């Protein structure tokens, strides 16, 4: 074996730059020094690093979801449904990634978690403002829950913006009205800070879309993308609930939340009820 062929060969490919003194690098562009310096476990237990990384990664994915949902809403308002479909597809792919992260976290056993749980203080995933933003954008609005964020003005202002504007489903329904479908005025001019409630006129409009797919193809695709997002959302909630149950059973959450019973109750909520109900009537 020649030296060039030997194990541990470190010769750089021809043309690859090595002097980055005056140039932006991969690490610079991604600000990796800041990102990789953000994992600071409070205990000495080996598995707390996993707990921190899983939750930080989930928050990064949620940031991207919010970015896509905001843009999708704007595209639907502008009647650019094709672009919105692409973004909603991306949201679903991101959801699948977050769901898989629960499989990794489930390798944390109850005996391991209890070794560092007390170091978490009152912090809890229930307090995630990005998760709340996603719920608001999907239509699950809640004014009382805003109290959790009263100590952070910037966060509260951001959440209030999402609370007070039409949700993804609201603008989808508005798009149906613009297309000529009859939608109850009560739905088109309602209080956006309230959670969405199922409406007969909306169900009839969607049902007509599903009964004539060729004529209303883009709206049919939009409806199915919305169903995808809710389907993945429910799987996300389920995996969250089962992972928590597996690790802490029915203990209360670190932030005082009821834990598993609360997580189970969230699975009963439907973001886009008519899109599920109409399937029985087709």
Kindly state the percentage of the chain with pLDDT values over 70.
Answer: 92
Contacts of 89 (CB under 8 A, 6+ apart): 225, 228
Indicate which CATH number applies to the domain containing 211: 1.20.58.480
Length of the chain in residues, anyone? 282
- Say what the pLDDT of residue 252 is: 75
Domain that holds residue 82: 45-124+168-281
> Is residue 32, in this structure, part of any structural domain at all?
no
- Among 4-8, 125-129, 219-223, the range with the most confident prediction by mean pLDDT is 219-223
pLDDT-derived band at 260, boundaries 50, 70, 90: confident
Contacts of 34 (CB under 8 A, 6+ apart): none
Is the pLDDT score of 253 beyond 80? Answer: no
pLDDT-derived band at 75, boundaries 50, 70, 90: very high
- Say what the pLDDT of residue 139 is: 95
- Say what the pLDDT of residue 50 is: 96
> Is residue 210, in this structure, part of any structural domain at all?
yes
- Burial (CB count <10 Å: 0-12, 13-18, 19+), residue 93: exposed
Q: Which of 35-39, 138-142, 197-201, 267-271 has the lowest mean pLDDT?
A: 267-271
pLDDT-derived band at 240, boundaries 50, 70, 90: confident
The more confidently predicted of residues 121 and 223 is: 223
Tokens of 45: 């237990």
Domains of the chain: total:
1
> Is residue 159, in this structure, part of any structural domain at all?
no
> Is residue 244, in this structure, part of any structural domain at all?
yes
> Is residue 147, in this structure, part of any structural domain at all?
no
Contacts of 264 (CB under 8 A, 6+ apart): 241
The more confidently predicted of residues 260 and 223 is: 223
> Is residue 265, in this structure, part of any structural domain at all?
yes
> Is residue 132, in this structure, part of any structural domain at all?
no
Cα distance between residue 57 and residue 98, in whole Å: 8
Tokens of 205: 């409009």
Complete DSSP assignment for 62-117: HHHHHHHHHHHHHHHHTT-HHHHHHHHHHHHHHHHHHHHHHHHHTTS-HHHHTTTG
- Say what the pLDDT of residue 219 is: 98
- Say what the pLDDT of residue 6 is: 52
Is the pLDDT score of 20 beyond 90? Answer: no
What is the pTM for the complete model shown?
A: 0.89
pLDDT-derived band at 19, boundaries 50, 70, 90: low
> Is residue 163, in this structure, part of any structural domain at all?
no
- Say what the pLDDT of residue 15 is: 65
- Among 51-55, 145-149, 252-256, the range with the most confident prediction by mean pLDDT is 51-55
pLDDT tens track for 172-186: 999 999 999 999 999
pLDDT tens track for 106-122: 999 999 999 999 898 88
């Amino acid at each position: 074996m020649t030296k060039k062929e030997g194990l541990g060969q470190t010769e750089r490919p021809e043309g690859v730059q090595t002097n980055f003194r005056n140039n932006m690098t991969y690490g610079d562009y991604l600000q990796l020094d800041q990102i990789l310096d953000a994992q600071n476990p409070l205990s000495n237990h080996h598995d707390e690093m996993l707990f921190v990384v899983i939750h930080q990664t989930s928050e990064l994915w949620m940031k991207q979801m919010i970015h896509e949902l905001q843009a999708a809403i704007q595209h639907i308002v502008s009647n650019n449904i094709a672009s919105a479909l692409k973004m909603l597809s991306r949201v679903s792919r991101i959801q699948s990634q977050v769901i898989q992260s629960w499989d990794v976290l489930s390798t944390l056993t109850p005996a391991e978690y209890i070794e560092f749980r007390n170091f978490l203080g009152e912090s809890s995933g229930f307090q995630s403002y990005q998760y709340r933003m996603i719920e608001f954008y999907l239509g699950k609005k809640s004014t009382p829950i805003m109290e959790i964020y009263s100590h952070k003005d910037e966060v509260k202002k951001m959440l209030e913006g999402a609370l007070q504007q039409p949700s993804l489903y609201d603008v989808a329904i508005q798009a149906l009205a613009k297309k000529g479908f009859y939608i109850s005025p009560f739905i088109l001019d309602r209080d956006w800070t309230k959670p969405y409630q199922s409406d007969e006129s909306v169900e009839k409009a969607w049902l007509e879309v599903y009964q004539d797919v060729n004529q209303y193809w883009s709206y049919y695709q939009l409806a199915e993308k919305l169903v995808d997002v809710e389907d993945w959302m429910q799987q996300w909630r389920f995996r969250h609930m089962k992972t928590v149950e597996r690790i802490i059973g029915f203990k209360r959450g670190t932030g005082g939340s009821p834990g598993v019973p609360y997580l189970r109750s969230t699975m009963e909520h439907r973001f886009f009820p008519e899109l599920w109900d109409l399937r029985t009537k087709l």
